[in-house]
Amino acid sequence: MSKLIDGKAFADRLCDTLSSEIASLKQAHQLSPCIAVVLVGEDPASATYVGAKVRRCEQLGIDSRSHHLPATTSEADLLALIEQLNTDPEVHGILVQLPVPKHIDSNSVINAINPDKDVDGFHISNAGALAVGQNNMVPCTPLGSLMLLQDELGDLSGLNAVVVGRSNIVGKPMAALLLQQSCTVTVAHSRTKDLPAVCREADILVAAVGIPHFIQGDWIKPGATVIDVGINRIQDSETGKNRLVGDVDFAAAKDVAGAITPVPGGVGPMTIACLMYNTVRAAKNQAGIKD
């Protein structure tokens, strides 16, 4: 039976540390970290994610300003709001919850955010900075996954890492972070030949595919560390109720992997904790306080 990597416990510890840091920033520097959260439309999953982020901010003492815009909002109006937030000295982080409605170009929105306030780390200049090892704002899900891996394994150098998925928000930045840690990194995707054989080479296997239970138990090298990024809502065949599952067939994987993140309770809580981490870093950077 694998060791369970408890992302919730790690995220709680990280948030406790941040909470103390925020209290001392307020006391010593009169600096109150603040994030603006922009939600366009009524997508229920997006509303849930935004709610969870705002609640975490409240727990930690981060100010949050919510901007909930109707689904009919024009791209020009959204860009105007971002510009206003870019120039507001009291706002240190800007998060536009994705996806935005189809008539709005998400790349234009992401790249309109001041890179220093881009706490999601999706701006093209932050992606470029990560690619050349000059990290500024790093995307939260890969950053949280890396923290869990380092906590579990310590030094990652020389390990074979396979990242399944090449999205801009998870797969590519995850691969860049692992490369920075001197892993030998393979990025697999929908055109990869013999994916099971590629996965079996992995000391570290990161699944970011978006297909429930996609990675099979016999694709995993015995003893490997498995990070399951997937969040998929499926209907339980026995109870008929909806439940969350990952991209890894957990029931099979737990007998093979050395350690594995559960879903829920693995990477998900780390994503929100790292958003808090990025917001505090952004506030300190903008106030000229050394990290």
Give residues with Cβ within 8 angstroms of 42, minimum separation 6.
Answer: 71
120 is catalytic: yes
Helix (H) or strand (E) holding 164: strand 160-164
84 is catalytic: no
Nearer to ligand NDP, 194 or 238 (CB): 194
Helix (H) or strand (E) holding 255: none
Nearer to ligand NDP, 102 or 191 (CB): 191
Nearer to ligand NDP, 159 or 229 (CB): 229
Helix (H) or strand (E) holding 24: helix 7-29
Region label for 275, one of left (φ > 0), alpha (ψ between -120 and 50) or beta (otherwise): alpha
Q: Minimum CB separation from ligand NDP for residue 290, in Å?
A: 29
Q: Minimum CB separation from ligand NDP for residue 92, in Å?
A: 22
Looking at the chain, the number of H-run helices and the number of E-run strands are 10, 11
Distance in angstroms (rounded) separating the CA atoms of residues 251 and 212: 12
Active-site residue, selected from the candidate residues 53, 117, 254, 284: 53
Comparing every residue's Cβ against ligand NDP, the nearest one is 167
Nearer to ligand NDP, 81 or 104 (CB): 104
Q: Which two tokens stand for residue 23?
A: 């209290």
Q: Which two tokens stand for residue 26?
A: 């307020």
97 is catalytic: yes
Radius of gyration of the chain from Cα atoms? Answer: 19
List residues binding ligand NDP (CB under 6 A): 141, 164-167, 169-171, 188-192, 195, 208-211, 229-232, 247, 267-268, 271
Q: Minimum CB separation from ligand NDP for residue 188, in Å?
A: 6
Q: Minimum CB separation from ligand NDP for residue 28, in Å?
A: 32
φ/ψ of 225, rounded to 5, equals -100, 125
Active-site residue, selected from the candidate residues 116, 118, 120, 249: 120
List active site positions.
Answer: 53, 97, 120
